[in-house]
Amino acid sequence: MTGAADTIVGDRAAAPSLPSPASGGGKGGGMRALTLVSDRKIELLDVAAPPAPSAGEVQLRIKAIGLNHIDVWGWRGMAFAKRKLPLIVGVEAAGEIVAVGAPPYPPPQAGEDKAGVKVGDRVVAYGALTCGHCKACREGRDNLCENVAGIMGFHVDGFARDLINMPARLVVPIPQNVSFRDAACAPVAFGTVQHMLFDNAKLEPGETILVQAGGSGIGTTAIKMAKAIGCTVITTVGDDAKAAKAKALGADHVINYRTERFETLVRKLTGKKGVDVAFEHVGPDTFNGSLLCLKRGGRLVTCGSTSGQSITMNLFQLYLQQYRITGSFGCSLRNIRDSLAKMASGLLPVIDTEVALADFEQGLARLESRQVFGKIIVNF
């Protein structure tokens, strides 16, 4: 479709350089799109670039994508997910506005100078196509939108392509001192943790929190966010190398769950009282243990179940101990703004690896193997 005349230059010179398919990213009419064609099979295709953005839309040139477990679920194939293949992958992204449709644009937020709707603005994109007008959307509870059209890169085409048109109301400006790479961790990883800790678990300074799987993308983020407000952090990891890294992030106590029973140690570390909050995303392997670690009236918040889907629960324990259990999925636009503000003030994501677009599947395999400490970023 194109003569490969253009070269995509990302903002990270350090990304591994791999042969690029014959496409320049829009100028010749085509662009690269990383497409799931069947379960566990992703191909880098040359597809038509999007048309000029419509009214209320912006066109983004994608610069970096963050990988998350939801990418792994989509790649493996999920029986319950309503979707049609082929599907462009990529759920969490940062990019630059290269074209702007006609108004209306969303009103700028406090502290923003009409940012996010000019050519050249650096932005991150919300990862789900919300309606913008239902009660939940109007109240800023975007992740409870009643008419959501799907999660990008999971139900509907996602961000792993050179160019995409997005509703302007679904992009959030990146502060000047935050890189595309770091900002690409805001819409899912940082936003999810911000929502879990502060909207759902109502974590307060001085409290004690148990962070399960502290080496994961959201685990490392939870450790940093909780320490930043002066909490005591106990975290679990799967090996000693990760234990040292979690300590270096500021975790007060690190437990290798393969060699020690974390339930017993948490009781000991808290003087038998238990923690105020448990941050869960592992699932059956740890869920009941996390409940046992809570103090009376403690809060458990969960956003995942990587080790399976179902558990049995002791209901006597649930109500006698007055636990509060909250499911959490995604975040609001406000959570993304707050996350980017945290990055601007120095609370940066932990990056495990950066890979090139063509190595997306290798990144997923690394994430699936859980041999990660922090986030995997795909550069364009």
Round to whole Å and give the CA distance between 296 and 23.
59
Q: Does 255 bind Zn ion (CB under 5 A)?
A: no
Residues β-bridged to residue 151 = 128
From the list 8-16, 24-32, 49-57, 128-136, the region that binds Zn ion by CB under 5 A is 128-136
Q: Which is nearer to Zn ion, 45 or 134 (CB)?
A: 134
Q: Where do we find the tokens 């591994």?
A: 16
Q: Which is nearer to Zn ion, 35 or 130 (CB)?
A: 130
Q: Which is nearer to Zn ion, 139 or 204 (CB)?
A: 139
CB atoms within 10 A of CB 5: 10
Q: Does 44 bind Zn ion (CB under 5 A)?
A: no
From the list 107-115, 142-150, 169-177, 265-273, the region that binds Zn ion by CB under 5 A is 142-150
Among 145, 174, 210, 282, the residue binding Zn ion under the rule CB under 5 A is 145
Q: In the bound complex, what is the minimum distance in angstroms from residue 70's beta carbon to Zn ion?
A: 20
Round to whole Å and give the CA distance between 76 and 282.
18
From the list 22-30, 133-141, 283-291, 344-352, the region that binds Zn ion by CB under 5 A is 133-141
Round to whole Å and give the CA distance between 24 and 215.
37
- What secondary structure does DSSP assign to 227-260, as a single string? HHTT-EEEEEESSHHHHHHHHHHT-SEEEETTTS
Q: In the bound complex, what is the minimum distance in angstroms from residue 133's beta carbon to Zn ion?
A: 6
Q: Which is nearer to Zn ion, 168 or 293 (CB)?
A: 168
Q: Which is nearer to Zn ion, 148 or 356 (CB)?
A: 148
From the list 141-149, 169-177, 318-326, 349-357, the region that binds Zn ion by CB under 5 A is 141-149
Q: Are strands 87-88 and 351-356 parallel, antiparallel or unpaired?
A: unpaired
Q: Which of 169, 148, 194 is nearest to 104 (CA)?
A: 169
Which residues lie closer than 8 Å to 259 by C-beta, 6 or more apart?
A: none
* CB-based burial label for 139 (10 Å; 0-12, 13-18, 19+): exposed
Round to whole Å and give the CA distance between 347 and 249.
11
CB atoms within 10 A of CB 100: 18
Q: Fill in the amino acid letter for 198.
A: F
Q: At what angle do helices 240-249 and 217-228 cross, to 10 degrees?
A: 30
Q: In the bound complex, what is the minimum distance in angstroms from residue 333's beta carbon to Zn ion?
A: 12
From the list 98-106, 110-118, 139-147, 284-292, the region that binds Zn ion by CB under 5 A is 139-147
Spatial contact of 318 and 168, defined as CB atoms under 8 Å apart? no
Q: Does 131 bind Zn ion (CB under 5 A)?
A: yes
Q: In the bound complex, what is the minimum distance in angstroms from residue 96's beta carbon to Zn ion?
A: 27
Q: Does 134 bind Zn ion (CB under 5 A)?
A: yes
From the list 27-35, 135-143, 191-199, 247-255, the region that binds Zn ion by CB under 5 A is 135-143
Among 15, 137, 188, 218, the residue binding Zn ion under the rule CB under 5 A is 137
Q: Which is nearer to Zn ion, 136 or 341 (CB)?
A: 136
Which residues lie closer than 8 Å to 62 by C-beta, 6 or more apart?
A: 90, 93, 94, 95, 159, 160, 161, 162, 163, 164, 380
Q: In the bound complex, what is the minimum distance in angstroms from residue 135's beta carbon to Zn ion?
A: 8
Q: Which is nearer to Zn ion, 182 or 199 (CB)?
A: 199
Q: Which is nearer to Zn ion, 67 or 137 (CB)?
A: 137
**Residues in binding contact with Zn ion, number by CB under 5 A:** 5
Q: Which is nearer to Zn ion, 134 or 292 (CB)?
A: 134
Q: Does 333 bind Zn ion (CB under 5 A)?
A: no
CB atoms within 10 A of CB 75: 21
Q: In the bound complex, what is the minimum distance in angstroms from residue 138's beta carbon to Zn ion?
A: 8
From the list 1-9, 49-57, 138-146, 198-206, the region that binds Zn ion by CB under 5 A is 138-146
Q: Which residues of the chain form contacts with Zn ion (CB under 5 A)?
A: 130-131, 134, 137, 145
